[in-house]
Amino acid sequence: MTLSGTYLDTLRRKINHRLGEIYPQGPRLLTEPVHYALAGKGKRLRPILTLLTNQACGGKEADALHAAVAVELLHNFTLVHDDIMDQDHTRHGQTTVHTKWDDGVGVLAGDAMFIIALMELRLSSDNVEDLTKAFANGALAVCEGQALDKEFETRSRVTLDEYMQMIDLKTGLMLGLAAELGAICASAGQEQIEGVRRFGCLMGRAFQVQDDLLEIFSDARTMGKSLGSDLLADKKTYLMIAALDKVPDQVQATVETARIDLEPGLASMRRILEDNGIRQLAEETIHRNIAEAKSQLTSLGQNAATLEAFAELILNREK
């Protein structure tokens, strides 16, 4: 089975319509940056996963839409704050919130989106208590993952196992939460809820390693955000950790080159990653985690086809 672009666009329009309705009144210095952040060209993969999982578990779309929007609000809250911490200037094809206004407005806008997400969640199905508990656990995990990510910036060496632990928290559990909320809205059984949550978490692993690849091997126009910020900040991505293990001197020299002139630095890093088999290693990790993710869907029977198609969508993304 494949997910047609038309069907995904339909889901995306429904999500965007609801996002456009939220927070209609308030101080302009808050409402404007909130709606600005949400109007970017985001893929809406997380809320789409919530709706697809709800469907696979036999639920009704109307019961899951508010939960899906809550996930997207949570995701954008983290992006606005991450952009401040990383001092990135482009996100979703537009200037970041903190660049367009200032850091203080960015913090406020992110905080507001988190609170609105909780309010949106309470408009969901009858299982509000279970939804809120899952949401709180997922939100805290994302913050813990970001804390580890920041900690890694100050360390000269990080292992791939430590990195995987970090992305399980920062990225994996966000996708796991998206799937879990969809299943809860469908009043699914515990086996199905646990299965789709694990599916989402493993997809998150694959997604983040793929994001690390795209950060180096894509281009700013395709990605819709600044490239090279991880390299300039000496962030410990999957690729950088593996490269530092093999050729630390070459990596350090390349980082210094990038800080002087980004494009030659990126070109040099691409050569290092390809010549030392690190790009191939990352691609193998992506495929392995997607295959393991699919294996978590046995309790859904034939209904797993939609989520398996979603996994292929992640595998083949270009941004």
List the domain boundaries for the chain: 14-315
pLDDT of residue 206: 95
Nearby residues of 167 by Cβ (< 8 Å), 6 or more positions away = 145, 204, 205, 208, 209
Position 136, amino acid: A
92: Cα separation from own chain's centroid: 13
Average pLDDT over residues 133-160: 92
Q: What digits encode the pLDDT tens for the residues 166-204?
A: 999 999 999 999 999 999 999 999 999 999 999 999 999
Instruction: Residue 318: count other Cβ atoms within 10 Å of its Cβ.
Output: 9
The residue with tokens 């020299």 is 253
300 or 262, which is more confident: 300
Query: Is-contact 163 102, C-beta < 8 A?
Result: no
Position 170, amino acid: K
293: left (phi over 0), alpha (psi -120 to 50) or beta: alpha
Q: What digits encode the pLDDT tens for the residues 118-146?
A: 999 999 877 899 999 999 999 999 999 99
Average pLDDT over residues 96-102: 93
Query: Is-contact 172 200, C-beta < 8 A?
Result: yes
Reading the block at residue 247, the tokens are 């050729």
14-315 topology per CATH: Farnesyl Diphosphate Synthase (1.10.600)
Q: Report residue 42's pLDDT band, with 50, 70 and 90 as the boundaries.
A: confident
pLDDT of residue 221: 59
d(CA 76, CA 80): 6
d(CA 290, CA 192): 18
Q: What digits encode the pLDDT tens for the residues 217-272?
A: 877 555 554 556 677 767 789 999 999 999 999 988 988 888 888 888 889 999 99
Nearby residues of 144 by Cβ (< 8 Å), 6 or more positions away = 169, 170
The residue with tokens 């029977």 is 301
pLDDT of residue 220: 57
pLDDT of residue 293: 97
289 or 6, which is more confident: 289
The residue with tokens 């995987």 is 164
Reading the block at residue 102, the tokens are 């200032």
Q: What digits encode the pLDDT tens for the residues 49-58?
A: 999 999 999 9
pLDDT of residue 36: 93
Q: Report residue 316's pLDDT band, with 50, 70 and 90 as the boundaries.
A: confident
Q: What digits encode the pLDDT tens for the residues 203-219?
A: 999 999 999 999 888 77
Query: Is-contact 140 160, C-beta < 8 A?
Result: no
d(CA 116, CA 166): 26
Query: Is-contact 215 310, C-beta < 8 A?
Result: no
300 or 6, which is more confident: 300
pLDDT of residue 135: 96
